[in-house]
Amino acid sequence: MLNFVQQLLGCLAALYVGWRILRFFISSKSPLDNIPGPASESFISGNVEKIMDPRAASGYQQGLVERYGRLFKIHGLFNAKWLYTYDPRALHNIFIKDQDVFEETDMLISMFNVLTGPGLIATLGDQHRRQRRMLNPVFSAKYLREMIPIFYAVTHRLLDAISSRVENGTQEIDVLGWMSRTALELIGQGGLGYSFDPLTEDKADDFADSIKAFFPVSSQIPAAFHQLLPWLVRVGPPSFRRKLVEMAPFGVVQRLRQIIDTIHARSIGIIDEKKAALEQGDEALKEQVGEGKDLMSVLLRANMSASAEDMLTDEELVAQVSGLVMAAMDTTSNALSRILHELAMHPDIQEKLREELVQVRDDGTGSLRDLEYDEVMELPYLDAVCRETLRRYPSIRGLFRIIRKDSQLPLSAPIRGLDGSLIDIIPVTKGMLIVTDIEASNCDKETWGEDAYEWKPERWLKPLPSAVDEAHIPGVYSHLMTFIGGSRSCIGFKFSQLEMKIVLATLLPAFKFELTDKPIFWNAAGITYPSVGDYSTKPELPLRVTMIKA
Ligand code: HEM
Ligand SMILES: *[C@@H]1O[C@H](CO)[C@@H](O)[C@H](O)[C@H]1NC(C)=O
Ligand SMILES: *[C@@H]1O[C@H](CO)[C@@H](O)[C@H](O)[C@H]1NC(C)=O
C-alpha cells in the first residue's frame, strides 16, 4: 500500500512536469513577446530561483527594477512568461479595480486552506467578500481603542522581562526573539482573548511552535508537490484525503500533519471557550483574558446579530484563529525588529525619538505614564520612524497574483516595446502570473525622489514630494503598498500600527539599543527576517541593550 501511494504521487509529479514542458513548446507565442525583460537564468526555473533566493533576491530585484522600470517580463518555472510590475495604475487594476481577475494563486490559497481552513487568507471571491464584511468592522479604530489596556499589560511584561536581564549592566539580547513573543502575545490577547506566553518566564507553547514551524517544514516538501497541492486538495472526500496523508510514507508529511492537527485542535478549543463564556453573558466574558474586548469576542457578538447570509460558519470562524496569528506574528515582529535595528544604526535618531517619548510621557512627578490612544498615534517623530521603516523595508516585499481570465493591464505611463513601439496597455491571459513588487513601489525614485532607497524618517516631517500625491498609489496606508490595497489589503494594519507604537513608546525610554560586533543580514524571504552574518534559516537579531533609568 505504501508503495502504491509513493508511486501514485511520483506519477502525478511526472505527469505535471511533462505537461508543463509540453505547454512550454506548444505555447511559444505570447502577448508578452514584445515586452522587455531579463534573459532567463535557467530552463527549469527561469528567473524565479533568483527572485526567491533569500540571499540575493533584494539586490537582484532592485537591479531588474533599475534596468527595466515599472513593468517588465520575467521567466517563470519552465520559462513561462510572467509579468513583473510596480506601476501604480497597474497595481490599482490588480488590487482594486479588477481584483477578481488578478487573484491570489491557487497554491497559496490551498496551502492556507490546509493549514487554517476556510478563513480570510484562504478564500476567494464571494466567500472572501462575505467574511471581509463581517470582519472589517471588528478591526475598526472603535474596538482598537478599547484594546489599549491589553496592549499595555502585555508590553509592561515585556519591559519587566528585558529589565530583569539587563539589571546588572549591558547585555546582548535577541531582540527578534522578544519581538516575536510579544507580537504573538499581542495578537493572542488582543485578537483572540487568549494568552500563549506569560513573557516573564520561558514556556513553550505547542500551538505557537506549530505555527512557527509550518513554513520551514513545508518548504522541505519538493516544489513539484506544492504545485500539485491545489489539485490534491480536491481529490475525493476529506476522509479519503486524510487517509492518504496518514499513510504517506514521508517524515515531513507526518510532521506537517501533526502541526496542522495541533493548530486545528487548539483553534477549536479557543473558540469553544469563548462561546461558552459568551453564552453565560458578558460578565463571564469579562473574566477571560482580553475581557471580552478582543477581536474574537467582538466577532462572535457581531455574528449573533448578523443577517443569515453574512453569518460565519463554525469552520470559517475557527479558521480565523490560526489565520490571524499567521498573518500578524512574523510581519509585526520583523517590522519592529527592523525599526530597532535602524535605531541602533542611527543613535542620533534613536535619541531624538527617545526625547519625544520621554517628554510626552513625563507625568510631572518624574515618572513615566502610559499614553492614550490618540496621543501615541499622533506623536510625529514616532510616526515618522514607523512610516519610514514600513516604506523602505516592507515586511512582505512582493506578492504573486494569478490571472483568472483574459484581460488588460493599463499603465500610468507607456513603456517601449522590444520593437520600439510605445505600449500603455498590456494584454494578459488566463493562467499568467504577475509579481507585484511592493518594495519597488515604496522606493520608486520617480515618486519619492533620488533618496528613495535611503532610510530617512525626516522625510515625513515635511510635505512629501508632489509626485507622491500625483502617483495615486493604491495602498490603504500612506501612499505605500506595504499593506497593499483593495479588498485583500491587510485587515490588521491599524492594529499593527498601534502595537508597534506602544512597544516602542514603552521600550525606548527604558533601554538604549546598540549594535554588537556581529553583522546582521536581512534574508529576503516571504517575510524578510534578520540573521547573523550571512544567509541563515535561524532568525535572530542580537543587539546590546542597556537600562537607561535606575
Ligand atoms: C507590519 C505588519 C504587517 C504587514 C507588513 C502586513 C502586510 C500584509 C499584506 C501585504 C497582506 C496582503 C497579503 C496577500 O494579499 O497575500 C496582508 C493581509 C492580511 N493581514 Fe497583514 N500585515 C501586518 C500585520 C498584520 C496584523 C497585526 C494582522 C492582524 C491583527 C494582520 C492580518 C492580516 C490578514 C487577516 C490578512 C488577510 C486579509 C485578506 O485576505 O482579506 N496583518 N497583510
Ligand atoms: C544581578 O545581580 C544580582 C545580585 O548580585 C543577582 O542576584 C542577579 O541574579 C543578577 N541578575 C542577572 C540578570 O544576572
Ligand atoms: C453565528 O450566529 C448564528 C446565530 O446566532 C449561529 O447559529 C452560528 O453558529 C454562529 N456562528 C458561529 C461561528 O458561532
Which position has the grid cell 498601534?
A: 498
The amino acid present at 372, given as its one-letter code, is E
User: Quick one: pLDDT band at residue 17, thresholds 50, 70, 90?
Assistant: low
The amino acid present at 500, given as its one-letter code, is M
Query: The sheet that has 542-547: what strands, in order across it?
Result: 171-174, 542-547, 511-515
Dist CA 407 CA 152 (whole Å): 48
pLDDT at 460: 98
Tell me the pLDDT tens digit for each residue of 219-251: 777 666 666 777 777 777 777 777 777 777 777
- Helix-strand-coil percent breakdown of the chain, rounded to 5? 55, 10, 30
User: Quick one: pLDDT band at residue 1, thresholds 50, 70, 90?
Assistant: very low
Among candidates 528, 532, 529, which has minimal Cα distance to 519?
532
Dist CA 319 CA 308 (whole Å): 19
Nearest protein Cα to ligand 1, atom 39? 488
% of the chain with per-residue pLDDT over 90: 69
CA torsion, ordered 457, 462, 468, 473, to nearest 10 deg: 60
Pick from 79-88, 277-286, 296-305 the range whose average pLDDT is largest: 79-88
Average pLDDT over residues 516-530: 93
Among candidates 90, 62, 102, which has minimal Cα distance to 423?
90
- The number of the ligand 1 atom at minimal distance from the alpha carbon of 190 is 30
Q: What is the pTM of this model?
A: 0.92
The yes-or-no verdict on residue 9 having pLDDT over 60 is no
Among candidates 376, 390, 276, 285, which has minimal Cα distance to 336?
390
Dist CA 30 CA 428 (whole Å): 9
Q: Which residues line ligand 1 (CB under 6 A)?
A: 104, 120-121, 132, 187, 191, 323-324, 327-328, 331-332, 335, 394-396, 399, 482-484, 488, 490-492, 495-496
Pick from 26-35, 192-201, 485-494 the range whose average pLDDT is largest: 485-494
Q: Report whether 376 contacts 505 (CB < 8 A).
A: yes
Distance 310 CA to ligand 1 centre (A): 22
Dist CA 323 CA 243 (whole Å): 25
Dist CA 146 CA 278 (whole Å): 18
The yes-or-no verdict on residue 19 having pLDDT over 80 is no
Lowest pLDDT segment from 21-25, 148-152, 370-374, 514-518? 21-25
Among candidates 83, 14, 474, 412, which has minimal Cα distance to 225?
14
> Which stretches of 203-313 are DSSP H helices?
206-218, 223-232, 238-247, 251-279, 282-286, 295-304
Q: Report whether 447 contacts 468 (CB < 8 A).
A: yes
Pick from 103-117, 176-190, 202-216 the range whose average pLDDT is largest: 176-190
The yes-or-no verdict on residue 488 having pLDDT over 90 is yes
pLDDT at 56: 73
pLDDT at 14: 62
User: Quick one: pLDDT band at residue 164, thresholds 50, 70, 90?
Assistant: very high
Distance 320 CA to ligand 3 centre (A): 14
Give φ, ψ of 123 to 5 degrees.
Answer: -125, 160
Nearest protein Cα to ligand 3, atom 6? 304
Tell me the pLDDT tens digit for each residue of 435-465: 999 999 999 999 999 999 999 999 999 999 9
The yes-or-no verdict on residue 20 having pLDDT over 80 is no
- 312 ligand 3 Cβ < 6 A: yes
pLDDT at 235: 73
The yes-or-no verdict on residue 48 having pLDDT over 60 is yes
Distance 491 CA to ligand 1 centre (A): 6
The yes-or-no verdict on residue 482 having pLDDT over 90 is yes
Tell me the pLDDT tens digit for each residue of 359-368: 999 999 989 9
Q: Report whether 75 contacts 47 (CB < 8 A).
A: yes
Give the ligand whose atoms come closest to the C-alpha of residue 398: 1
pLDDT at 223: 65
Distance 263 CA to ligand 3 centre (A): 22
pLDDT at 457: 98
pLDDT at 266: 93
- The number of the ligand 2 atom at minimal distance from the alpha carbon of 171 is 13
pLDDT at 2: 45
pLDDT at 265: 94
Average pLDDT over residues 319-333: 95
Grid coordinates belonging to 95: 488590487
Dist CA 12 CA 103 (whole Å): 25
Q: In terms of residues, how long is the chain? A: 550
Q: Are strands 433-437 and 398-403 parallel, antiparallel or unpaired?
A: antiparallel
Average pLDDT over residues 87-108: 95
Dist CA 293 CA 273 (whole Å): 15
The yes-or-no verdict on residue 22 having pLDDT over 70 is no
By CB atoms closer than 10 A (0-12, 13-18, 19+), residue 273 is middle
- 518 ligand 2 Cβ < 6 A: no
pLDDT at 10: 59
Distance 319 CA to ligand 1 centre (A): 15
- 169 ligand 2 Cβ < 6 A: no
Q: Is 490 within any annotated ligand binding site?
A: yes
The yes-or-no verdict on residue 26 having pLDDT over 70 is no
Q: Quote the mean pLDDT of the chain.
A: 90
pLDDT at 161: 96
Distance 482 CA to ligand 1 centre (A): 9
Average pLDDT over residues 480-492: 97
User: Quick one: pLDDT band at residue 15, thresholds 50, 70, 90?
Assistant: low
pLDDT at 21: 62
Dist CA 174 CA 545 (whole Å): 10
Grid coordinates belonging to 506: 514603552
Dist CA 533 CA 531 (whole Å): 7
Cα angle value 349/396/488 (rounded, 5°): 120
Dist CA 342 CA 457 (whole Å): 11
- 239 ligand 2 Cβ < 6 A: no
Dist CA 538 CA 527 (whole Å): 13
